[in-house]
């Protein structure tokens, strides 16, 4: 069965006549059924840690759209919470965390092997999904990449330029690098447990990779990704891994070969034509329709979707957005995107 799943075929390097489709954040606030389930849970974190409800919201977009993959409903900041950081969400503003900015704060964190009791509900959600998904639907697990997770742990929130993390890197490199190392090792353990629970693919989201310049990108985006992938491949050699160093620009080139990733997800700051010439030559790519089209729809959505599918048709490709779908998206536009992709061939 696994060998016939479209996404697994693409990840193995096969060029398919119609690219498989899923969307980042496909279970989310743009769907009325998600909003109802979240209201039942009470708040976002309660939803993440309620395995039954998290399973339900993960399945909702599969029932509605028949995507080729389902991605675990969770959050990249559950791992820092498992490491001992305080985490809460402010309505309309996003996550807040207690900060790690010095050696004393770092010393209070838990070790990589002490995270699993806290994350047990997440592993249960994966097990639930492995039993509940349609036979052709691939189950994707995920985690945040170390640099991106570290930026939140250092700043205590999302920031436009990740300045607090860059500052700590320049002012206290030993603490910064110790934090990157701990997140890296904990991410290996976290994703390994997701795979053992039933995830068929895992993805690393490095949402803020684009703010790393020059050698810092190699040291804190590429190198930790390579370390995570190498460790996971030793334990789970048949599990494909997608890497997403968002807004990497020219640094997308060679990223798959350098890290061992089976697929590189591309944001929409680079064109499909550039991606075909520079990234897809090394294997599977994922992307990269601009998320705004899920809001605006219309002929522009059809034209851009068609252009991406046709431009990337000569190599392995998973159709996706260049970033997550936004809460103001129109569910009808998602269906239009899917219909367009599947009618292109």
pLDDT in tens, 126-159: 999 999 999 999 999 999 999 999 999 999 999 9
Q: Answer yes or no: 29 catalytic.
A: yes
Does position 3 have pLDDT exceeding 80, yes or no?
no
Place of tokens 């500052």: 167
Q: What does the DSSP 8-state code read for residue 153? A: H
The yes-or-no answer on residue 25 being catalytic is: yes
Catalytic residue among 29, 64, 157, 342: 29
Q: Is 9 a catalytic residue?
A: no
> CA torsion sign, 153 to 156 to 161 to 167?
negative
Catalytic residue among 9, 25, 227, 292, which? 25
Mean pLDDT computed over every residue of the chain:
97
- What is the model's pLDDT at position 92? 83
Residue 206, phi then psi, degrees to nearest 5: -110, 75
Peptide bond into 288 cis (omega under 30): yes
Kindly name the residue from 49, 65, 152, 190 that is annotated as catalytic.
152
**Residue % of the chain over a pLDDT of 90:** 97
Domains of the chain: 2-343 (3.20.20.210)
Q: Which residue, among 295, 284, 250, has the nearest Cα to 269 in the 3D structure?
A: 250
DSSP 21: B
Instruction: Dig out the tokens for 161 from the structure.
Output: 């330029």
> Whole-model pTM?
0.97
Question: DSSP character for 136?
Answer: T
pLDDT for 240-262, tens place per residue? 999 999 999 999 999 999 999 99
Strands (E), the chain: 69-71, 87-90, 94-97, 138-144, 201-206, 241-245, 263-265, 284-289, 317-321
Please tell me which residue in 35, 64, 75, 172 is annotated as part of the active site: 75
Segment 96-111 mean pLDDT:
98
**Cβ-contact 179, 151 below 8 angstroms:** no
Q: Is 246 considered catalytic here?
A: no
**Annotated catalytic residue, options 35, 38, 64, 342:** 38
Whether 64 is catalytic is no
């Amino acid at each position: 069965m696994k060998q016939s799943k479209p996404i697994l075929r693409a990840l193995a390097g096969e060029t398919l006549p119609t690219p498989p489709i899923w969307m980042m954040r496909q279970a989310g606030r743009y769907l009325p059924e998600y909003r109802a389930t979240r209201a039942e849970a009470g708040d976002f974190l309660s939803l993440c840690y309620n395995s039954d409800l998290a399973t339900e919201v993960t399945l909702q977009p599969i029932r509605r759209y028949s995507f080729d993959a389902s991605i675990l409903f969770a959050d990249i900041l559950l791992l820092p919470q498992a490491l001992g950081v305080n985490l809460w969400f402010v309505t309309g503003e996003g996550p807040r965390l207690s900060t790690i900015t010095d050696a004393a704060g770092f010393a209070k964190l838990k070790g990589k092997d002490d995270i699993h009791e806290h994350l047990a509900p997440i592993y249960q959600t994966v097990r639930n999904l492995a039993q509940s998904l349609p036979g052709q639907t691939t189950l994707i697990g995920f985690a945040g990449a170390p640099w991106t997770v570290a930026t939140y742990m250092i700043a205590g929130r999302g920031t436009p330029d990740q300045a607090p993390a860059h500052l700590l890197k320049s002012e206290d490199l030993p603490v910064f690098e110790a934090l990157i190392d701990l997140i890296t090792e904990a991410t290996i353990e976290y994703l390994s447990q997701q795979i053992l629970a039933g995830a068929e693919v895992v993805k690393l989201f490095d949402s803020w990779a684009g703010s790393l310049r020059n050698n810092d990108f190699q040291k804190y985006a590429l190198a930790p990704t390579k370390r995570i992938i190498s460790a996971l491949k030793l334990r789970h050699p048949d599990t494909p891994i997608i890497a997403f160093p968002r807004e990497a620009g020219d640094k997308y080139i060679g990223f798959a070969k350098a890290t061992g990733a089976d697929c590189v997800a591309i944001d929409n700051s680079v064109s499909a034509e550039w991606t075909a010439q520079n990234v897809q030559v090394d294997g599977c790519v994922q992307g990269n329709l601009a998320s705004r089209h899920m809001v605006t729809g219309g002929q522009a959505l059809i034209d851009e979707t068609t252009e991406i599918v046709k431009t990337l048709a000569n190599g392995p490709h998973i159709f996706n957005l260049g970033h997550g779908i936004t809460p103001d998206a129109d569910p009808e536009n998602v269906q239009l995107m899917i219909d367009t992709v599947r009618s292109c061939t």
